[in-house]
Amino acid sequence: MDFTLAGVLLAVALPVMLIAAVLIRWETGDSAMFGQRRMGRGFRTFMLWKLRTMRSGCAGGPFTLGADGRITRVGHWLRWFKIDELPQLWNVMRGDMSLVGSRPVIPELAEEFEADYVRLLAARPGLTDPATVKYCREVELMALVPDPLDYFKKVIMPDKLRISLAYLDRSSVRRDVGVLMRTAIALIRSAVPAVAGKATIEPMVVARAPKILRAAEADSLR
């Protein structure tokens, strides 16, 4: 199912990716594609592909948390609509990833949370899973915390791992289809205000952050 569905989705997404690539090239003068090593099944790394959303050659960490000055104007919108993730359909077709599974992380994070990833990476990582759906707008949480990295590692990552491990134990084709549908609904719901309104991304993030922050902290205490 993964190969066939990913191929169909990639064909449908190709025009959008081409338009995004032109905009990226126009704004940055750089290549549209960005590759980063991620940890895959059996703790074997692979090259994960994304559309470029950040300026190359700028100093910074291996992943972004909240506001980041390296993100371009086009990159902000590509991230908001998750268009930058579309090239990972090719990773699915290659067999690096599944459509549904825990999100692939950089090797440093997999090593830091090794006990959990030993179980999670018995299977291929994926484009989405219940944890991904819940934290679809992770940047909104980072908007209100004084130390995003500390909050990410102490609150968000443990909660994500708990959700992903629980799903791994009861995953099935029927549940996977349900996760894909929930992912699509979550993306559409968050995209509508951006399309219909005149506000930029940042005000929407700040406006929605308090509610999501309280929910995430309540879940972390369970």
**Tens digits of per-residue pLDDT, 57-105?**
665 666 666 666 788 999 989 988 999 999 999 999 999 999 999 999 9
Q: By mean pLDDT, which of 47-61, 79-93, 110-124, 206-220 is the weakest?
A: 206-220
Angle at 92 between CA 72 and CA 98, to 5 degrees: 110
What is the domain range of residue 6? 2-220
Work out how many domains the chain is built from and give that number: 1
Structure-block tokens of residue 38: 């991620």
Q: Is the pLDDT of residue 146 over 80?
A: yes
- 172 backbone φψ class: left, alpha, beta (φ>0; ψ -120 to 50): beta
